Amino acid sequence: MEKKIEKISELFLNLICEFYEYDSKARTFGTDTELYHSEIHMLQCIQDNPGLHISAIARKLGITRGAASQTAKRLERKQMIVKEMNHTRGSKVVMYLTPKGEIACFNHKCAHEKYNTIISEILTGSDEEQLKFLSDFLLQFEKALKEN
């Protein structure tokens, strides 16, 4: 049993490493501009919450205001977002996606749907007990990672 658990652990950790390598590479998401993980997720946050200011975006993403500000500057240079003054909110700068940013978000969502399809196909035929086991395992693993 111990050898089987070691083998599963090795397979799982290899999968995590492969996915991390793939996910951390810059991709264009249907545009002519490379975007990194942090950038596409900020675009997604802006699309889901148009008109937010940088502090609110930072809170939603769980990053510092400085990190959010730097990412927003890169996205503005890449013509993915526009910043506008919102005088009704105390002269705060708020952000919106450009058409190019919208295209990137659309293609990012398509990539997520592709993952969902792959997982769905793999899990088709699994019974409730198997799905519960897998879900519980992943939740426990995530919790253990956050605690360490």
Region 39-60 average pLDDT: 96
Helix (H, G, I), strand (E, B) or coil at 81: strand
Please, what's the largest Cα pairwise distance for the chain? 65
For 57, list phi and psi in degrees, rounded to 5: -65, -45
* Residue 85: predicted pLDDT: 87
| pLDDT band of 13, cuts 50, 70, 90 | very high
Is the predicted pLDDT of residue 89 greater than 70, yes or no?
no
The per-residue pLDDT for 91 is 65
With contact defined as beta carbons under 8 Å apart, do 26 and 38 qualify?
no
Residue 120 dihedral angles phi and psi, to the nearest 5°: -60, -45
Q: Please name which of 77, 52, 56 lies closest in space to residue 65, comparing C-alpha atoms.
A: 56
Q: What is the CATH number of the domain that holds 135?
A: 1.10.10.10
Q: Tell me the average pLDDT across 83-107.
A: 89
Q: Alpha helices of 1-148 — where are they, by DSSP H?
A: 2-24, 37-48, 54-61, 65-77, 99-123, 128-147
Residues making up the chain, counted from first to last: 148
What is the domain extent for residue 106?
Answer: 2-147
| Environment class of 125 (CB within 10 Å of its CB; exposed 0-12, middle 13-18, buried 19+) | exposed
Kindly report the pTM of this predicted structure.
Answer: 0.81
- Please report which confidence band the pLDDT of residue 22 belongs to, taking 50, 70 and 90 as the band edges: confident
In this predicted model, which residue has the larger pLDDT, 85 or 129?
129
Instruction: Please give the tally of structural domains in the chain.
Output: 1
